[in-house]
Structure formats: C-alpha cells, structure tokens
Structure 1
Amino acid sequence: MTTIEMITREDLKQFKSELLNEIRQIIKPGQGQSKQWLKSVEVRKLLNISPGTLQNLRINGTLRFTKIGGMLYYKLKDIHKLLEGGL
C-alpha cells in the first residue's frame, strides 16, 4: 500500500521562507559578493531563470536595468527587492 503525503500551504510558506533566507545569505554584500552591478548571465544564474523570463521581467518593469554598449546590467539591490517582493 502506498502512503500519500499532503503538502499544506503552511509547508509551502515555510519552504519559501527558508529558500529566500538561503538566497539572501548567498548574495549578502560583503560575503564574497561585493559587486554592485550584475550582468544578465549572473542574474539568470542567481534567480535560476531563463533568458526569456529575464526579458519579461525587464519588459514589464519588474526589474530595472541599465544598458551600456550592448551589455545589460542590474543593480544588486534591485535583485534583493525582487526577492523580497516575490517573483
């Protein structure tokens, strides 16, 4: 007989909280991440999102960016705000 485990909303909220705390620890300024600006590749890797998702975040204004030459840059503090507000 197979046992079925139920995941509750509270379980998901707790998981979200733990995951965000771990991500904050990874990108906390002063702990190996002293960069103020991140390139698109770094943001995608950090948030684990596709190029298309990052493009949508730019288009709908969720994530501000600066374009210098052909490169797009994102402020680290804007990434923090995005994580706190939810993706």
Structure 2
Amino acid sequence: MPATIITSDDLREFKMDLLEDIKYLIAQSPTSLSNRYIKSGDVKKMLRISHATLQRFRSNGIIPFTMVGGIIFYEVSEIEKVMKANRVASNSKS
C-alpha cells in the first residue's frame, strides 16, 4: 500500500473547505438569535440587574426559565417579550 504525502497546501485547502462548510451550515441554521437560550450571567448583563433581582424575577414568575441538570436557561425571545410587555410610555413633552 503506497504512502500518501499530505503537504501544508493540502491542509490549507482542507481548512478553507471546512470553514466554508461551517459558514454554510451556520447560515442555514433554523434557529435565530431570538430563539437561543442563555444562562443567568448573560441575562444579568443584558438587563443590568443583580443576582438577587434575577432570583426575585424567577421566584415571582416575571421571567420564564428552564432548568436542566441544575443549570438555569432563559430564552432570549421570552426576555424580549417581558421587556415589551412591561414597557412604560413616556409622558414627557418636547
């Protein structure tokens, strides 16, 4: 059985093909940014709230969440719905 020699050009070409395939798969993914799940730390940064406030929101049913194996996940689209539902119109006059 003859040996096959792989050159650095072969590896570079393989890498570029692989990156193109990954980009294509990401572009074809049915999940959008608003349907992804994030963890508590990301929610706290997004809303600029403390851990205690996030805990209170969970306890009071303000923000829905999913717990898998002790890890809490939040759906971004659900957080956006909560934010829109609690929007307060400004009464200021220009």
TM-score using structure 2 length:
0.54
1:5-55, Cα deviation, whole Å (9 max, x unpaired): xxxxxxxxxxxxxxxxxxxxxxxx96xx46610100000000000000000
Q: For residue 84 of structure 2, what is the aligned residue in structure 1?
A: 84
1:26-41 alignment to 2 at 5 Å? 33=33, 36-41=36-41
CA apart distance, 1:83: 1.2
Q: RMSD over aligned Cα, in angstroms? A: 2.1
Give the Cα separation in 1 of the matches to 2:45 and 2:35.
15
Give ranges in structure 1 of 5+ residues lacking alignment.
1-28
Give ranges in structure 2 of 5+ residues lacking alignment.
1-30, 88-94
Give the Cα separation in 2 of the matches to 1:62 and 1:72.
15
Larger radius of gyration: 2
Q: How many residues in Structure 1 have an aligned counterpart in Structure 2? A: 57
Give the Cα separation in 1 of the matches to 2:37 and 2:46.
13
Q: For residue 47 of structure 1, what is the aligned residue in structure 2?
A: 47
Give the Cα separation in 2 of the matches to 1:74 and 1:49.
15
Give the Cα separation in 1 of the matches to 2:81 and 2:40.
17
Structure 2 letter corresponding to 1:85? A
